Amino acid sequence: MNAELQSRQEEIVEEFSFYEDWMEKYEQLIEMGKELDALPDESRMDEHLIRGCQSRVWLLASKDENQSVRFHADSDAIITKGLVALMVRVLDGLPPKDIAESDLWFIEKIGLDKHLSPTRANGLHSMVQQMKRYGVAFQAQ
Amino acid sequence: MISALDTAAIRSQFPILEREVHGQPLVYLDHAASAQKPIAVIEAQREYLSHYHSNVHRGVHALSQQATDAFERARSTVQYHIGAAHLEEIIWVAGATDGINLVSQAWGREHIGAGDVILITRMEHHANIVPWQMLAQEKGAKVEAVDILADGTLDEDDFQKKLKLNPKMVAFMHVSNTLGTINDAQRLTSMAKSAGATVLIDGSQALPHMIVDVAELDCDFYVFSGHKAYGPTGIGVLYGRKSILEAMNPWRGGGEMIDEVSLEKGTTFAGLPHKFEAGTPHISGAVALGVALQWLTGVGLKSVMEHETILSSQARHQLGKIDGLQFIGSAPSTSGVVSFIVDGVHPYDLGTLLDQQGIAVRTGHHCTQPIMDHYDIPGTVRASFGAYNTLQEVDSLVQGVERALKMLR
């Protein structure tokens, strides 16, 4: 597995290990959400929308000059935006193949897996699927 | 404020209220979605399944007769509970949605034709919109919706105006699941009937919280779900005026609903109520719903309504002090439903942080997207009270909201 991807995941696991309860973890996610730049209105278009049940997530992807995938994302709910920021932090700037094949073990490790189940209302599950699909698509280009 | 109910005694009858959620005592404020079950209801279902389960209406053996007796006794409990004149006016259905679909298909396909108008309201649950849209599409009919005023009251002037379109069917909710508005169902029914319409009332949000009398309402159809009235899921009731039900053809075909079946001569149908109850019914559900209604009567529906009104007014009073908080639905007459939004805060975030504190509320559009369009909002946070909620739980809600907002803003 991509060494960068590994170390980013380890870093996040360490960060979250300081928090004792979920309210503190949510506080951290909210901070991450607030720090992530909002997408300009023109990017918040329906074609970039990932449909969750209640909160909306916009995801844009492109390939830079190094053939790495760059992600830009946003959400109208701040906790979801924090989750989005976390995913972007882990996968942004990696080669398409590594994204397509990524094993995101940190999600379970920090207890986020319950937020990732497809029945949850935040659309995060669809977002991870969509990021991996971009990896597959850019690999083919 | 003194409550009309002994909530401690009531709470002790609900095993689920003893559990914790995320390490916090459960504060369950989602009654508009579903109510929890008292021991009497849980026991009724367990006893049925342990002692006398059998199929109804067709066995000569003892178990079948016991099951049939209990099933039909539950039907008569419903009859008395809602003041229906005849036992056969009570049809078992899967829930309110199923009941409305039965009427839209069995009654609607015979009575609605091209160009006809079906009148609903903008505050309806999707269950009282989509079946009519499907019927209208099939028949070339039109669905018109009565507007609501800014405070969530039904616009009676618009209702009067749209009655002039001579709607064949007028279908509206007794109490709004999103706004809490209590419609003057008797008055609306009388206006609609004077205009020559057949009237269906969706009573899902009324029956668990107030005394409902179909004779007084004088409506043609009344539907409700069992699970919101402290009964099981998968069972509900369609009340229909006998003369109308008699003239209606069945909707679903199968066992139970036939008189004689012949491959040569065709099939003749059973009489009421069985002609609308094809297949083996949800027997344990019906039996337990009967017990749930008896339980509600025992607690006293008048006291339940008074109690829930105290809780919701207190919640409105305390939440109303929070900066940037706005109620969606503040009609003069509201039920125990309190819907709100907060400036700059997504309902999903607020709901997630309340859940983390053990407080179960609903967020989103509550299956009423036309209301969200009307107010131009993505959704609301909705707290809805039941018989066993307390003023302390109102405090927990308010403190929970304040704590969440501190984190979010």
Find the CATH number of the domain harbouring B384.
Answer: 3.90.1150.10
- Domain shared by B267 and B119, yes or no: yes
- Domain shared by B280 and B318, yes or no: no
Domain boundary at B297, B329, B345, which? B297
Candidate from A10-19, B43-52, B180-189, B308-317 with smallest mean pLDDT: A10-19
Per-residue confidence (pLDDT) for residue A119, from 0 to 100: 61
Q: What's the whole-model pTM score? A: 0.94
* Structure tokens, B284: 């344990």
Percent of chain B with pLDDT over 90: 96
* Structure tokens, A42: 């023109």
Does B168 map to a domain? yes
- Domain shared by B224 and B91, yes or no: yes
pLDDT at B314 over 60: yes
- Domain shared by B276 and B352, yes or no: no
* Structure tokens, B116: 């006809």
Average pLDDT, chain B: 96
B400, closest residue in chain A (CA to CA): A23
- Domain shared by B311 and B278, yes or no: no
B167-226: pLDDT as tens digits: 999 999 999 999 999 999 999 999 999 999 999 999 999 999 999 999 999 999 999 999
Cβ pair B349:A122 closer than 8 A: no
Domain boundary at B244, B265, B297, which? B297
Mutate to test the interface with B, among A19, A20, A23, A49 (most CBs of B within 10 A): A23
pLDDT at B325 over 90: yes
Does B37 map to a domain? no
Cβ pair A55:B346 closer than 8 A: yes
pLDDT at B152 over 80: yes
Supply the range of the domain harboring residue B235: 42-297
Q: Which residues of B touch A22 (CB under 8 A)?
A: 22, 356
- Domain shared by B230 and B305, yes or no: no
Contact A90, A5 (CB under 8 A): yes
Does B171 map to a domain? yes
Does B176 map to a domain? yes
pLDDT at B1 over 60: no
Per-residue confidence (pLDDT) for residue A50, from 0 to 100: 85
Percent of chain A with pLDDT over 90: 59
Does B36 map to a domain? no
B257-276: pLDDT as tens digits: 999 999 999 999 999 999 99
- Domain shared by B287 and B177, yes or no: yes
- Domain shared by B363 and B242, yes or no: no
Domains of chain A: 3-140 (3.90.1010.10)
Q: Which residues of A touch B379 (CB under 8 A)?
A: 54
- Domain shared by B286 and B321, yes or no: no
Residues 320-379 of B with CB under 8 A from A: 345-349, 352-353, 356-357, 363-364, 378-379
A81, closest residue in chain B (CA to CA): B349
Count the domains in chain B.
Answer: 2
Candidate from A113-117, B23-27, B28-32 with smallest mean pLDDT: A113-117
Cβ pair B356:A78 closer than 8 A: no
Does B315 map to a domain? yes
Domain boundary at B253, B268, B297, which? B297
Does B58 map to a domain? yes
- Domain shared by B17 and B134, yes or no: no
Q: State the SS3 of chain B.
A: CCCCCCHHHHHCCCHHHHCEECCEECEECECCCCCCCCHHHHHHHHHHHHHHCCCCCCCCCHHHHHHHHHHHHHHHHHHHHHCCCCHHHEEEECCHHHHHHHHHHHHHHHHCCCCCEEEEECCCCHHHCHHHHHHHHHHCCEEEEECECCCCCECHHHHHHHHCCCCCEEEEECECCCCCEECCHHHHHHHHHHCCCEEEEECCCCCCCCCCCHHHHCCCEEEEECHHHCCCCCCEEEEECHHHHHHCCCCCCCCCCEEEEECCCEEEECCCCHHHCCCCCCHHHHHHHHHHHHHHHHHCHHHHHHHHHHHHHHHHHHHCCCCCEEECCCCCCECCEEEEEECCECHHHHHHHHHHCCEECEEECCCCHHHHHHHCCCCEEEEECCCCCCHHHHHHHHHHHHHHHHHHC
Cβ pair A26:B378 closer than 8 A: no
Nearest Cβ partner for A78 among B23, B349, B357: B349
- Domain shared by B17 and B130, yes or no: no
Does B313 map to a domain? yes
Cβ pair B407:A80 closer than 8 A: no
pLDDT at B240 over 60: yes
Q: Which residues of B touch A27 (CB under 8 A)?
A: 407
pLDDT at B150 over 70: yes
A57-79: pLDDT as tens digits: 899 999 999 999 999 999 999 99
- Domain shared by B342 and B287, yes or no: no
CATH number assigned to the domain comprising residue B254: 3.40.640.10
